[in-house]
Structure 1
Amino acid sequence: MVLLPIMRWEATSFGRPVLALVLVMSMSVFPTVFLPSFPSMWLTGIIFGYGLGLLIILVGTGIGMSIPYWIGSLFLHRIHGWLEKKWPQQIALIKLAGRGGWFQQFRVVALLRLSPFPYVMFNYVATITQINFTPYICGSVVGMVPDALVNIYSGRLILALADLKYDQRRMTTVEIVYNVISAIVAVLIGVGFTVYARRALDGIQSAESAQQPEPAVVPAVATSELGGDRHRSSSSVPVDVV
């Protein structure tokens, strides 16, 4: 695995405070330039564990989701049409959320972070809507928590497997059972949140569609009736005969 030597080099070349800063910077910059940041999340989980690791990931990804929000408006209008063709349902929902209040914007952003909508692309897509920055960043951070926890676990699992390979030792039965159950739980958490997010987003769209007023239908009037009305109106007018 190519990433493992790089992660080991980072872990051994910096002290913990400097490494935390490096990881925050990598998770801030990589999404802006469309590079994956999950290796940094793995290393965060390996070095800092769940508590401090989750905080570092949320700070780094929070900055990484803020930068594209502010710079996206500079060029996003050029690919606006392409985005709407590729993800019409999600784009329509984001625009719909932008017309709602603070909580609706927060909720839709959080659900979209949980859904399979591309993480990096959404950082720029949000700028074509009326979603304000505060609900955008709050919803993004909340929606990233499950993904961050799964990435922390993935990093610790990678470390355990690497120790087996390089240290030439075998897992005990307890370790095997623990890792298998943990892997199944991590997959179920990811799938469960994704399914929940998609159903919730579909429910929001259905509710908004039901609230939209239907266009008024003007009943058609037969030409003969109009003619008859004109005839009756003309015949009902008294005519003075001199």
Structure 2
Amino acid sequence: MNERENVLELDEYLIRTSNLKKYYAEEGRLSFFSLKSTKSLVRAVDQVDLLIGRNEVLGLVGESGCGKSTLGRTIIRLEEPTSGRIFFLGREITHLSQHDLKAFRKKMQIIFQDPASSLNPRKTVFEIISQPLKVHGKVSGKKATVERVADLFDKVGLERNHMERYPHQFSGGQRQRVCIARAIALDPVFLVADEVVSALDVSIQAQILNLLMVLKEELHLSILFISHDLSVVRQISDRVAVMYIG
């Protein structure tokens, strides 16, 4: 295979990282012989090469603290990489400015582990879900906004007449459905699902996993599914990658 053919083959993947690194500087302790503290590097993500295909769920499993969540956030540029390259939809996005990155933001979204902390308690779920629609100009006018949010409620299995409720009025599983509705509001093609079922009861976990699998097929999504639980990862993933200390 020549170089051009190899590039074309790689571009078939939705997400590609090459030698991706994310390091943090950590203050060390003061030395007995010096008043200066030493700094050490925490290698949260260290030389990661990753490929995620279109309409594929890649499970990322590993112990807590091994860098899984940092990798997910770095891929979608919520964290700035220390070095390496990130490709999305065939284009390198590693060094795009925040202004240029805005065009890609709506195509890649994240669902966090704890829905309670990622939902504004002072806003109704209608306001929470409609906010990204307004920011990105996805809908125009009150009627269109209500219709879009209602459609999203249908997609994630929530009742339309609950749109004016606040997050605390929902169960944990329902709050995670609200987070999923917000994540798919802009019609993304890539989701980072970061420990999305780890705080839920086993029966509710199965429901959320089934919902993600249905949405993957309906919306043609690619998903990076992050978990420390291999049994959960196996239920939803097409392929599994293991991460260990970065």
TM-score of the two chains, using structure 1 as the length reference: 0.29
Bigger Rg, which one:
1
Normalised to the residue count of structure 2, the TM-score between the two structures is 0.28
Higher helix share: 1
